[in-house]
Amino acid sequence: MLGFAATTTSTSTIVANTAHPAYSRGAYAVHLCNSQRTSCCSQSSSIFFVRIPSSSLRSSIHPVKAMAEAETLSIPKAESQSSGSGDKQALISLSDKQDLAFLGSGLQGLGYVVWNVVINILIERNSNVDAELMHMYDRYTVVSTGGTASALEKAGVSVTKVEQLTCFPEMLDGRVKTLHPSIHGGILARRDQKHHMEALNKHGIGTFDVVVVNLYPFYEKVSSTGGIAFEDGIENIDIGGPAMIRAAAKNHKDVLVVVDSQDYPSLLEFLQGNQDDQQFRRKLAWKAFQHVAAYDSAVSEWLWKQTVGDKFPPSLTVPLSLKSSLRYGENPHQKAAFYVDKSLAEVNAGGIATALQHHGKEMSYNNYLDADAAWNCVSEFKNPTCVIVKHTNPCGVASRNDILEAYRLAVKADPVSAFGGIVAFNIEVDEALAKEIREFRSPTDGETRMFYEIVVAPKYSERGLDILRGKSKTLRILEASKNEKGKLSLRQVGGGWLAQDSDDLTPQDIQFKVVSEKTPQESELCDAEFAWLCVKHVKSNAIVIAKDNCMLGMGSGQPNRLESLRIALRKAGDEVKGAALASDAFFPFAWKDAVEEACESGIGVIAEPGGSIRDGDAIDCCNKYGVSLLLTSVRHFRH
């Protein structure tokens, strides 16, 4: 850890130690903590002794109340020694040294004069010392450890080891470094409390006015691809850093605390203006506490997984980071913003939140919802697939070896709904596909070019990107990575949150049990599996009709299943003959209801979870019409 250090009071401090061996010899000991002696403040370190003739002592030194074996004396500083910054001090302790040189030089330019010697004076009780010997003591000090010292030295800033400020050596493999009254006293002291300042003066502690800290890279270490041993994870938990940040944030009225290098310019501007904007200080304090809270949440999340491992801990903190402010929410009168989940579980886990936008207008609230729905759906399919979504529901889905054909069939399923929707692919968008997206006409009239809000795919060829950019200035082009399985799904309700496993089941994970007299042919079973995979992404009550790996029609969001069926049948039209039908939940009634209407329309196979007390009626109805009935024992409600 490193720090800029100096005294802020109008007096310098001298500590008399009558127990020191030099005292018994009648000598005045000047203890110099030089930057070349990193451990000189320990009891076992070398000490420089300088004999000061008594004739050189002056009466301008005033005694202060003695403490145990030491006395503190106050020496007025020469006016010529005062720095132009008003004797302000900054403490800097960084793990991430980005823009450190900019910060250090900026502080120097504002009068934070840097030198590399910390001096402690050990003198005989009731004696006076020539104040001119203290000319070095009214300069600022950079206190540093490890790589930070090297970085500052390269920037032309002299540095001193942190133990030379605390006069106590770093110990326990660095676990105890800045946890010291010389550090925290100088941060936490309230300048408007006389007894606080008297306590600092009594113990020879200077105040800090600026604290700049960031923390050990725990998040990066435990989320690294290669993983990390438990013991190494523990050692990467920062203790001193959060303590300094919290202390400075608590005392933000007197101390400016910075945890983000992006705030360095505004900090320097604030200091240069010599202003006292409490709102600026409070904002930095908020950011500091938020920084520590997010850090602690990562530690908590990691430790929970190392212990119990249950997905639902008794207490849960989700760290969110603002990615963008949105123009509005679902409607223009609603304000909105978009946050990225910084939980460890989301590191390299894919999803639309981390998608790269290559082109187009800024994403809106509804854009994110629709893009997420389209991407989650298309990512489920193994074969080349196109999915078109409108208002979070897939209105067109098709899988083909020829992705151009898959795209055309997806549009054909519901061209009216597809217009103005989101189109997603699970393979690269190359030049040929990009041209098809740009030029394809709506099947409704054969003339109108299809318009889309968003195109999302795992990757794009360079030529494909150029062509899509030419389709529209507003077309949003997203490149996303597939969502990993096993994520925690969160949803807000009034006053609380619902948490559940993500719905990751695919047709390969379940058994389609034949319960009817008719056994489906292989092609019919494939159609049923395709329809079943589609229906899990449709809002309940959901019905999907599909054939030959292509959605023909779907009904969504109806309060009763019969209405969803009728919508799907109407969209499928004459192509319904011999097609597969999938339902997200069981049919509560069969005769003169959804099952019988489906059979009468010409559906060849039905896939549904089962579990109704009237499952027998559904089986009998299918047997009457010669329709295959498959029970999956898996429901796919989506609200």
Q: If you write DSSP's letter for every residue of 33-48 in order, what string do you get?
A: EETT-TTTTSTTS---
CB 483 within 8 A of CB 379: yes
Give the Cβ contact number of residue 11 at 10 Å. 16
Over 80: is that where the pLDDT of 36 sits?
Answer: no
**Euclidean distance between CA atoms 341 and 318, whole angstroms:** 7
Task: Region of 608 please: left (phi>0), alpha (psi -120 to 50) or beta.
Answer: beta
The SS3 of residue 543 is strand
The predicted pLDDT at position 76 comes to 30
Task: Report the CATH number of the 88-115+136-306 domain.
Answer: 3.40.50.1380
Structure-token pair, residue 134: 């203290």
**Euclidean distance between CA atoms 187 and 255, whole angstroms:** 7
The predicted pLDDT at position 151 comes to 63
**Euclidean distance between CA atoms 435 and 425, whole angstroms:** 14
Specify the CATH architecture of the domain 328-339+349-479.
3-Layer(aba) Sandwich (3.40)
Q: Which residues pair with 32 in a beta bridge?
A: 119
The predicted pLDDT at position 99 comes to 83
The predicted pLDDT at position 176 comes to 79
User: Strands 513-514 and 628-631, how do they pair?
Assistant: antiparallel
Task: Region of 146 please: left (phi>0), alpha (psi -120 to 50) or beta.
Answer: left
Domain ranges for the chain:
88-115+136-306, 328-339+349-479, 507-631
Q: How do residues 475-527 score in pLDDT, each as one tens digit?
A: 999 999 998 888 888 999 999 999 998 999 999 999 999 999 999 999 999 99
The predicted pLDDT at position 526 comes to 95
- Is the pTM higher than 0.85? The answer reads no
507-631 folds as: Cytidine Deaminase; domain 2 (3.40.140)
Over 90: is that where the pLDDT of 402 sits?
Answer: yes
Q: How do residues 39-77 score in pLDDT, each as one tens digit?
A: 333 333 222 222 223 333 333 323 222 222 322 222 233
Query: In three state form, how does the secondary structure of 479-518 look?
Result: ECCCCCCCCEEEEEECCEEEEEECCCCCHHHCCCEECCCC
Q: How do residues 129-170 score in pLDDT, each as one tens digit?
A: 333 323 323 333 444 444 555 665 666 655 556 666 677 766
Over 90: is that where the pLDDT of 340 sits?
Answer: yes
Nearest to 135 by CA among 155, 156, 113: 113
Domain pair 328-339+349-479 / 507-631, same fold:
yes
- The residue-averaged pLDDT of 19-37 equals 33
User: Strands 476-479 and 452-457, how do they pair?
Assistant: parallel
Q: 264-273 and 278-306 helices cross at what angle (nearest 10)? A: 150
Q: 240-250 and 278-306 helices cross at what angle (nearest 10)? A: 150
Q: Please report which confidence band the pLDDT of residue 619 belongs to, taking 50, 70 and 90 as the band edges.
A: very high
Range in 128-132, 222-226, 259-263, 532-536 the model is least confident about = 128-132
The predicted pLDDT at position 16 comes to 33
C-alpha pair distances (Å), 563 with each of 168, 371, 554, 594: 78, 27, 11, 8
Over 90: is that where the pLDDT of 421 sits?
Answer: yes
Q: How far is CA 89 from the centre of its chain?
A: 32
- The residue-averaged pLDDT of 173-196 equals 82
Query: What are φ and ψ of residue 483, in 5° steps?
Result: -65, 135
Give the Cβ contact number of residue 77 at 10 Å. 18
Q: Which residues pair with 171 in a beta bridge?
A: 176
- The residue-averaged pLDDT of 341-365 equals 91
**Active site amino acids:** 250, 391
C-alpha pair distances (Å), 321 with each of 290, 326, 342, 549: 10, 14, 7, 40
- The residue-averaged pLDDT of 449-457 equals 94
Element containing residue 387 per DSSP (H, E) = strand 385-390
- The letter for the amino acid at 300 is S
pLDDT above 90 as % of the chain: 45
CA dihedral sign of residues 491, 414, 507, 632: positive
CB 117 within 8 A of CB 140: no
C-alpha pair distances (Å), 37 with each of 29, 41, 137, 156, 638: 17, 9, 17, 20, 68
Range in 41-45, 106-110, 600-604 the model is least confident about = 41-45
**Euclidean distance between CA atoms 362 and 473, whole angstroms:** 11
Round the average pLDDT of the chain to a whole number and report it: 78
The predicted pLDDT at position 403 comes to 97
Nearest to 114 by CA among 132, 135, 94, 90: 90
